Amino acid sequence: MATNYPANLKYTKEHEWVSVEGDVATIGITDFAQSALGDIVFLETPDVGTKLSAGATFGVVESIKSVSDLYAPVSGEVIEKNSDLEGSPEEINSDAYASWLIKVKLSDTNELNNLLSAADYENFCNSSH
């Protein structure tokens, strides 16, 4: 299955994508991740106001046969969550980059330097799997 890696996004080795506008990061899981998980049937994300710490788990995504933790790519406060997605998590399988999970107000924009570029993330996916 062909996966894609939009160049305008940042990525983590835990297979999250990040889109940055000013000091707000929009976070989702990558096309590679949804493909590896298969049919996504359940999503658990934090409520607005929750403080996230980079690298810590912030939620769960479940396919029919698996449970995977979500890891915060950056630190900050959740300012919005995509509640619609909880009722139809399979949309992540249809379009992972349109299916954002949460928006976070960054507490340290320097953390963005720790994220991977599209090219680096693609190399990571190709080498580790």
Q: Which spans of this chain sit near another protein (rule: CB under 8 A)?
A: 1, 38-39, 41-42, 44, 60, 62-65, 67
What's the rounded Cα separation, in Å, for the pair 30 and 27? 10
Amino acid of residue 107: S
Amino acid of residue 4: N
Of 113 and 128, the one with the shorter C-beta distance to another protein is: 128
Minimum distance from CB of 60 to another protein (Å)? Answer: 7
Minimum distance from CB of 67 to another protein (Å)? Answer: 6
The runs of H, that is alpha helices, within the chain are: 31-37, 83-87, 91-94, 118-128
Q: Are 50 and 9 in contact (CB under 8 A)?
A: no
Of 26 and 50, the one with the shorter C-beta distance to another protein is: 50
Minimum distance from CB of 101 to another protein (Å)? Answer: 17
